[in-house]
Amino acid sequence: MTVLFCDLTGSTAMGERLDPEPLRALLARYFEQMKAIVERHGGSVEKFIGDAVMAIFGVPTLHEDDALRAARAAVEMRDALPQLGLLGRIGVMTGEVVTGTAERLATGDAVNVAARLEAAAQPGEVLIGEPTLLLVRDAVEVGPVRMLELKGKSQPVPAYLLLSAGSAPERRHDAPFVGRERELEAVRGSWQRVVDGPGCELVTIVGDAGVGKSRLVAEVVSSLPATVVRGRCLPYGEGITYTPVIEVLRQLDRLPLDAAAAAAVRSLLGQSTAATSADEIAWAFRKTLEDAAAERPIVVVFDDIQWGEATLLELIEHVALLSTGSPILLLCIARPELAERHPTWPVLLTIQPLNDDKVQELIPDGIPADLRQRIVRGAGGNPLFVEEMLAVAQEADGEVVVPPTLQALLAARLDQLASGERTVLERGAVEGELFHRGAVQVLAPEEAHVTPRLAALVRKNLIMPDQPQIAGEDGFRFRHLLTRDAAYRALPKASRAELHARFASWLEEHGVDLVELDAIVGYHLEQACGYQQELGIPVDAALAARARARLMAAGQRAKVRLDNPAAVSLLKRGLAFLPAGDIDRVELELVDVLFETGNGDEALHRVGSFIERTSAAGDRISELCGRITESILRSYVEPDGATEKIAALLERALPEFEAAGDDLAMYIGYTALGHVANMRAQHDESLQAYDRAAFHAERAGLPARLVGYRSSTRFHGSTPVPDLLAWMDEQGAAATSNANFRAFRAEALAMLGHFDQARTILAEARTELADRGGRLWLGALAGQASLEVELLAGDPAAAVAFGDAGCRIVEELGERSMLSTLVGLRAQALYAAGRLDEADAAARRASDLGASDDAYTQMLWRQVRAKVLASRSEHGEAEGLAREAIAIGDQTSMLDAQATAHADLAEVLLLAGANATGTAELEEALTRYERKGNLVMARRTRSRLNELREAAGASSPALPPPACEEAEVELALGAVEEAVDVVGVGEPDEARADGRPDQVGGRHPA
């Protein structure tokens, strides 16, 4: 509401000068006149304080223009005081207040600031606050801003000297006109009947404020060969019944030919004092229009007729019914309240909100996509809302907030509802933009007619039926998100706290099938606790515990699906409810996510604090869990010797975890054990560790997890591709939400030759990770999975590009362990692209970055350097490096990487002219490719061997495909067909001709 304070100046001297009785009479006239002015503008006097007046605008009735009413009242009060021989100061401020309490008086910061502004004003001045100016700036004139140091305010408060206040100007139509083809056709059809008749037609266009009624009319009449005149009904004031008629008559600037009618018009215009009646005015107005229409067809636009008095509406109907032979089009514009006040009034058109595509056309091209979407969603198809939100977003650096003008408009609309309807709407707003009938009934048990109230709100275009999210319920959605916000803001915070808690309990019972039940219930419990805390009420410990449990469970699920921003938010919010001194190992989940999103410093700080607290509390198991987590994080940034340190820590910790029977600790311990085996490229051992970790996670009640790591170890280890894909199909929908899981599926598909499917899966995964803030895994996908798919597909240039992107992302995060392997993979891609010098430089860098116990990186850089040296005829050193890579690979279970190492040695030997030993190495590579099920590389290697045999003139026949290959293909395709939504996969895609078929990089253990 808007608060106005008016206080007299010099009242003490006046009391000394005047006798008490004349002073009392003067003050009585002052109070009476000030009260009359306030009430004339729709406000009410809250109280008299000495010789000060406090008035409020917005109670008991809220208007969209309360701020302007207060400003106009302030100007009139300022001008009236000298006529009483008095001088005063006035302050006006708009803001949220609490009213309707037992004391009834309005309370809030707006009241205090209004009083301070009044005290800061000079005699004869009106000062208004900035929130008021934002609502009235198009209708007032103000002086320069004054920054005031006000008592009780920590920052200077801007104030403006109010010079004058007029009426709200008509809305400008700067935005483009979009859509409305059907409505345009209907109005133009009425116009055609008017001129063809000729005759008079009445067209009434109804729609919410800002939906585009006036713009539609302006678009139509701008092209009509007619005289166009306009009149607008005012929301309040004295003698306003005929204001729109007087406006029309003044624009026509003529009198009717009939003398009696002309006399009635003069009386209405105040040009004579002759008495006249409503019937005579209606008749005279019709005669004036008919005379004008005889010369040229006429269009009369009456705007905002929902505010029109019954007398005005009867006048319009009089013209419509009796001007049968004159080409007159009466266009009336109204809001939905017209039907409530005058249910029998004929309506031709109801303007609905624009669809999202049309709203997009209203937004300038330069607006960022995320801001566009927020505006589209918030505007709900209302062009005015779009325009106002755009203006505020541009002033607020892209933040979408509800402009104060719209807040006032929506609050006034809701204030007109019947008490039961408003209650139902507010209870629905507690649930959110989409709500359910059952929830409203639980939140409003005193309301016996919820269903009829909802139907009434649908008729009033405030809500609409929607698909329910809960079985057996009726669903509804607010037509405008801003309407929901306005209804919610009207609830006192004490009520919000109670209603959120009650709704959470209802949802726990009825929403058990909701995927995001924990997040939604946690949010409402969090809101209940937050409002209790804000109001100084002791926070309900049981509510806080429920909020913590729900938010943490939701955060853990978000972590599993790699939705990192959601995981960070949910876990932090849940931990905020942890009682002081308590320890929850879920904090270690947050540490992991923070590190993956690039917040390494915060992650290490949190885990360090966790270790200190658990150590001080004597919680040995939790302390060890923290130390393990910290060691793994540090291994990414300081990889040298890190694997041995983690292994040594686990050797001490795992027996303690086993002895304690602590499943959560064992999950952490065995996950770390899998990490150690991973770094050593012992993927079959890693698989056992991760599978056991998943077992303990399930026993600890954690959501299904580690599907990315468990698919990684199967992919990189000795598990054949068909077995990997069959296992993936058994994991269910929860696993497919994990982007890393899908990335390894894509690589497996690429090994079968289905490159387009693999690329599609990876593109979706990269987009998802970018949206969710998973930068570490985005780097891994861009630099590893996508790189290797392109190498398999024979497109080394694309592989290099993905390698560049992945290295850049991971390097920005300050992570070295993964970076070293990515650099090695990029070196393989550069060699395949024929960029030997760059490949050599990348291999050397991988050597510098890689930890001595990072088996895969140690293989990669040796393989690439060996091939580069061989191409430079440095055959001895080249063969030595290549054989070192094979020796390292033999200590691992990386079957596919072993095959590639043998293929790379073969190339080194063939470049040295050692064809026999080179051929033997290719045969060894083929054996391993076939065991792994890498059909693409098996075919290429076999083709290469046949070429060598033909070149050597060998008498032995070409190598045939193994008998098992086609069966393996069918098995693998059957395993993936349903998962990738492919019917009849057909033949594998052809590799690009420019690929180096015998060059495929290995796989990173992560």
Backbone angles phi, psi at 968, to 5 degrees: -65, -40
The strand ranges marked E within 312-385 are: 328-334, 349-350
User: CA-to-CA distance for 323 and 293, rounded, in angstroms?
Assistant: 10
Contact 955/706 with Cβ under 8 angstroms? no
Q: 183-189 contacts: CB < 8 A, separation 24 or more?
A: 183/216, 183/349, 183/351, 184/216, 184/219, 184/220, 186/348, 186/349, 187/216, 187/217, 187/220, 187/331, 187/349, 188/220
Question: Whose CA is closest to 743, among 802, 656, 683?
Answer: 802
Please, what is the Cα angle at 393 between 391 and 398, to 5 degrees? 150
pLDDT at residue 992, rounded to an integer = 45
Residue 494 to residue 521: CA distance in whole angstroms: 19
Tell me: the pLDDT tens digits for 393-407? 766 555 666 667 777
Asked if omega into 997 is within 30° of 0 (cis), the reply is: no
Note the pLDDT of residue 972: 44
Q: How far apart are CA 255 and CA 618, in angstroms?
A: 98
DSSP conformation class of 702: P
The Cβ of residue 971 has, within 10 Å, a number of other Cβ atoms equal to 17
Closest CA to 55 of 106, 99, 8, 12: 106
DSSP letters for 965-988: HHHHHHHHHHHHHTTTT-SS--SP
Q: Please, are residues 117 and 91 in contact by the beta-carbon 8 Å criterion? A: yes
Beta strands in 386-508 (DSSP E): 434-436, 463-466, 475-478
- pLDDT tens digits for 534-550? 999 999 999 999 999 99
DSSP string, 881-946: HHHHHHHHHHTS--HHHHHHHHHHHHHHHHHTT-HHHHHHHHHHHHHHHHHHT-HHHHHHHHHHHH
CA atoms within 13 A on the CB side of 494: 6
How many CA atoms lie within 13 Å of 673's alpha carbon, on the beta-carbon side?
Answer: 22
Residue 773 DSSP symbol? T
In this predicted structure, what is the pLDDT of residue 994? 41
Tokens matching residue 988: 């594998």
Please give the pLDDT value at position 1001.
32
Both tokens of residue 510?
Answer: 């009825």
What is the DSSP annotation of 96-150? Answer: --B-SSTT---BSHHHHHHHHHHHHSPTT-EEEEHHHHHHHTTTEEEEEEEEE--
- Asked if residue 327 lies in contact with residue 195, where contact means CB atoms within 8 angstroms, the answer is yes
The β-bridge relationship of strands 140-148 and 157-165 is: antiparallel
Burial of 996 (0-12, 13-18, 19+ CB in 10 A): middle
φ/ψ of residue 411, rounded to 5: -60, -40
Q: In what order do the strands lie in the sheet with 475-478?
A: 434-436, 475-478, 463-466
Give the residue carrying structure tokens 């060894």. Answer: 924
Is this model's pTM higher than 0.75 or not?
Answer: no
- Calculate ∠ Cα 275-281-282, nearest 5°: 155
Burial-class residue 620 by CB neighbours within 10 Å (0-12, 13-18, 19+): middle
pLDDT value at position 394? 63
568: amino acid identity, one letter: V
Tokens found for residue 290: 């008919």
Distance CA 652, CA 194 (A): 95
| Eight-state DSSP code of residue 381 | T
Q: Which residues contact 3 (CB under 8 A, 6 or more apart)?
A: 54, 55, 56, 57, 70, 92, 93, 94, 95, 97, 106, 110, 111, 114
| Peptide bond before residue 256 is cis, with ω within 30 degrees of 0 | no
Q: State whether the Cα torsion 608-614-618-624 is positive or negative.
A: negative
State the Rg of the chain over Cα: 39
3-state secondary structure of 841: helix
Bridge partners of 142? 162
Contact 73, 12 (CB under 8 A): no
CA 167/CA 165 separation, integer angstroms: 7
Name residues of the chain where pLDDT drops below 50.
102, 963-986, 992-1006
